[in-house]
């Protein structure tokens, strides 16, 4: 990553703020989705995957030290969301019927990482509203790791799909001249 311009740094800052605000809303309303990767995906789409990774990691760090300690542990998920979403966007995979497939690819990677962290670090109980669903599945006899992965995947897919749609809408509203200035620095 070459030296970042003021516009790129400001875009990363906006992305971090979007991640924090989304995560704060989801946590306080106990939503079964996370809303913590809208900024990561937005920055990955506009500037590129490495900047998206930076945005995701910074968002996890700030959320983790301010209101949700669990966010720190799930920083690797943000890393993969930023990287994979940016790479797929560069390949033109976020157009038409390819959007659900792209979200599926992002969700598979992020769910595997998130499920391992949730299962082996937190025994399936995190700050996410989805912990209630995991507890329900465990109580009816579903294997702990299986229930965590299934819930993680369903939640991640819904969350990433919503995040990608919001991001695609936002990015399409930004005039090309502004996007070009951000990219070029």
Section 167-175 average pLDDT = 97
Structure tokens at 151: 């819930």
Question: What CATH number labels 6-184?
Answer: 1.10.1760.20
Query: H-helix or E-strand containing 85?
Result: helix 75-90
Cα(47)–Cα(167) distance, integer angstroms: 13
pLDDT band at 135 (very low <50, low <70, confident <90, very high): confident
Show me where the domains of the chain are located.
Answer: 6-184
pLDDT value of position 1: 53
Judged by average pLDDT, the poorest of 91-105, 120-134, 141-155, 160-174 is 120-134
Can you give the pTM of this predicted structure?
A: 0.93
Section 113-130 average pLDDT = 85
Cα(78)–Cα(167) distance, integer angstroms: 16
CB 144 within 8 A of CB 135: no
Cα(13)–Cα(7) distance, integer angstroms: 10
Q: How many CA atoms within 13 Å lie on the side-chain side of 121?
A: 14
pLDDT band at 185 (very low <50, low <70, confident <90, very high): confident
First vs last C-alpha separation in the chain: 13
64: nearest Cα among 32, 41, 36: 36
Q: How many CA atoms within 13 Å lie on the side-chain side of 30?
A: 3
CB 58 within 8 A of CB 44: no
Radius of gyration of the chain measured on its C-alpha atoms: 16
pLDDT value of position 79: 98
């Amino acid at each position: 990553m070459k030296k970042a311009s003021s516009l790129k740094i400001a875009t990363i800052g906006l992305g971090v703020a979007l991640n924090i605000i989304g995560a704060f809303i989801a946590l306080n309303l106990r939503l079964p989705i996370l809303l913590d990767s809208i900024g990561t995906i937005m920055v990955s789409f506009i500037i590129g995957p490495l900047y998206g990774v930076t945005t995701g990691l910074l968002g996890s760090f700030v959320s983790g030290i301010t209101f949700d300690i669990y966010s720190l542990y799930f920083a690797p998920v943000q890393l993969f969301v930023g990287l994979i979403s940016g790479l797929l966007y560069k390949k033109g995979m976020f157009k038409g019927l390819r959007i659900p497939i792209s979200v599926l690819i992002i969700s598979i990677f992020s769910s595997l990482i998130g499920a391992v962290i949730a299962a082996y670090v937190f025994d399936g109980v995190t700050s996410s509203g989805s912990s209630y669903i995991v507890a329900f599945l465990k109580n009816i006899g579903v294997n702990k790791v299986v229930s965590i992965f299934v819930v993680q995947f369903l939640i991640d897919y819904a969350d990433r799909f919503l995040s990608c749609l919001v991001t695609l809408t936002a990015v399409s509203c930004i005039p090309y001249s502004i996007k070009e200035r951000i990219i070029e620095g």
